[in-house]
Amino acid sequence: MADLSINFCGIKSPNPFWLASAPPTDKAYNVVRAFEAGWGGVVWKTLGEDPAAVNVSSRYSAHYGNNREVLGFNNIELITDRSLTINLREITQVKKDWPDRAMVVSLMLPCEEHYWKNMLPLIEATGADGIELNFGCPHGMSERGMGSAVGQVPEYVEMVTRWCKAHTKLPVIVKLTPNITDVRLPARAALAGGADAVSLINTINSITALDLDRMIALPVVGNSSTHGGYCGSAVKPIALNMVAEIARDPLTKGLPISGIGGIGNWRDVAEFIALGAGSVQVCTAAMLHGFRIVEGMKDGLSRWMDEKGYRSVAEFSGKAIPNTTDWKNLDMNYQVIAHIDQGSCIQCGRCYVACEDTSHQSIAQHIEASGARRYEVIEHECVGCNLCEITCPVEDCITMVAQDTGKAYMNWTQDPRNPRREAR
């Protein structure tokens, strides 16, 4: 059996599955249920200065798929709305009762050193394994100069991280906001400030939908609404890219990453780890289905690791990074062509209309007298864009077949068609 245990910047955990700082980690009751279900660790719901934050009523909204499955999730909640004393007491107790699980405490405080200096010893006293700096919350708190308002300014990120490193011996994880043009900059700043790791992504500014009768966005609070933070399955591609950007940045190479954003099953987890994450955090999927989803994640990941011969998480962590590169390094001589398996084609015509209307008119439609339809790829027209494969509802019916062009690797910097090519 594969070994799922990890040591993430000095924080040990029986498996890489942590719950992200959010309602699932809001209090002892939830966290204990999560540990019972098998989660390896939690990042406790963000603590702040007393008095605790106050939340509004009606807080969440969703972006739905056709079958009412939740694709994306939006919230306007603030950090913890419970008092510091209660939170610290519960953290102490839970860590004592579950010594083998990772207990990380998330923090958000104003940008003045004394706040951090006073708070950090209190966190250390709980026995927690690490702290996470919430520089990501994009709504509410950012209007008060905290959360993403800090995360968007690399100088602030570096400064606060440095304060924290000065006032605690615990590992410091800096949680980044995706609401920024180039996520590598705050990651570099965190590293410069002495961070032991970064975690990402926090939520993305969003409006999911409107009540068109009342002309108010969702979620509705009285007669108005505000933008919230977007998360869930829909943000996974954004998060994966941001993780990869940091993992392959030479300036932050080797900086441990806790991957967050849209993780819901073992495959998502494997993908984040392959792109450089050393642990993963989950919020929305647990909020939608409960803590039990960790079972499928554990079983699925360890079976897949066994199958591939990976004995530990570290063995495949970052394995896909060398294959993730800049556009300019891609092979201009590589060519794929669509192939339709007529046996599994259900004749829906989706590939045809997609290619005909919006791509390269490379699929021919034949309608026989009987009414039977047949779709055939016009191979010399096909540019290998994958659109037909993507639009086909039948898995493996359309495959993109690599062609033997007989030509050697050549990238854009070497390509004679490139007017600004560097090499010859």
Partner 1 sequence: MMIESLKHLPRPQLSNAELSGQFTDLAPALSARQAIIESARCLYCYDAPCTRSCPSEIDVAGFIRNIHDGDINSAAHGILKQNILGGSCARVCPTEILCEDACVRNHHAEGQPVKIGLLQRYALDHMKFASHPFTRAATTGRKIAVVGAGPAGLSCAHRLAMLGNDVVIFEAREKPGGLNEYGIAKYKLVGDFAQKEVEFLLAIGGIEIRYGQTLGGNLRLKDLHGSFDSVFLGLGLGASRRLGLTGEDAPGLLAAVDYIAALRQADDLTQLPVPARAIVIGGGNTAIDIAVQIRLLGAEEVTLVYRRDAAKMTATGHEQDIAKANLVSIRTWAQPQQVLLDKAGRVRGMRFEKTRMEAARLTGSGETFDIPAEAIFKAIGQGFDCADIDGLERDGDKIRVDDQFRTCLPGFYAGGDCVAPGQDLTVQAVQHGKLAALAIHRDLMAKMEAA
Ligand X SMILES: Cc1cc2nc3c(=O)[nH]c(=O)nc-3n(C[C@H](O)[C@H](O)[C@H](O)COP(=O)(O)O)c2cc1C
Give 253's DSSP letter.
Answer: T
Four-residue CA torsion sign, 164, 168, 169, 170 = negative
d(CA 68, CA 209): 14
Tokens 């499928």 — which residue? 296
| Contacts of residue 360, Cβ cutoff 8 Å, sequence gap at least 6 | 381, 382, 383, 385
Q: Does 175 bind ligand X (CB under 6 A)?
A: yes
By CB under 8 A, tell whether 311 contacts partner 1.
no
Catalytic residue, from 9, 111, 137, 392: name it: 137
137 included as an active-site residue: yes
Residue 279 touches ligand X, criterion: CB under 6 A: no
Options 2, 27, 45, 338; binder of ligand X; rule CB under 6 A: 45
Binding piece for ligand X, criterion CB under 6 A, among 255-263, 348-356, 373-381, 397-405: 255-263
The CB-of-284 to ligand X minimum distance in angstroms stands at 3
By the rule CB under 8 A, 394 interacts with partner 1: yes
* Structure-derived torsion over alpha carbons of residues 310, 315, 316, 322, reported in degrees to the nearest 10: -140
Collect all residues with Cβ–Cβ distance below 8 Å to 308 and sequence separation of at least 6: 316
Q: Which partner from the list partner 1, ligand X, none does 211 bind, CB cut-off 5 to 8 Å by kind? A: none
- Specify whether the CB–CB gap between 266 and 2 falls below 8 A: no
User: Is 395 an interacting residue with respect to partner 1 (CB under 8 A)?
Assistant: yes
DSSP state for residue 65 in the 8-state scheme: -
Name the residue nearer to ligand X (CB basis): 152 or 411: 152
| Identity of the residue numbered 238 | I
Tokens of 127: 């026995």
**Which of 144, 292, 308, 407 touches partner 1 (CB under 8 A)?**
292
CB of 18 to partner 1, least distance (A): 20
**Residue 267 site contact among ligand X, partner 1, none (CB < 5 to 8 Å, cut-off depends on kind):** partner 1
Question: Which residue number, 24 or 411, has a Cβ lying nearer to ligand X?
Answer: 24
In the complex with ligand X, the residue whose CB is nearer, 106 or 225, is: 106
Q: Report the relative pairing of strands 277-282 and 17-19 from DSSP bridges.
A: parallel
- What does the block give as tokens for 245? 């950007």
Q: Residue 225 has which token pair? A: 């609404």
What does the radius of gyration of the chain's CA atoms come to, in whole angstroms?
A: 24
Tell me which residues in 136-155 interact with ligand X (CB under 6 A): 136-137
User: Residue 253 interacts with partner 1 (CB under 8 A)?
Assistant: no
- Which residue reads 């199958």 in tokens? 307
Active-site residue list: 137
| Residues engaged in binding ligand X (CB under 6 A) | 20-23, 45-46, 73, 75, 77, 79, 106, 134, 136-137, 175, 202-203, 231-232, 235, 260-263, 282-285
| Residues engaged in binding partner 1 (CB under 8 A) | 67, 265-267, 289-290, 292-293, 295-296, 299-300, 303-304, 344, 394-395
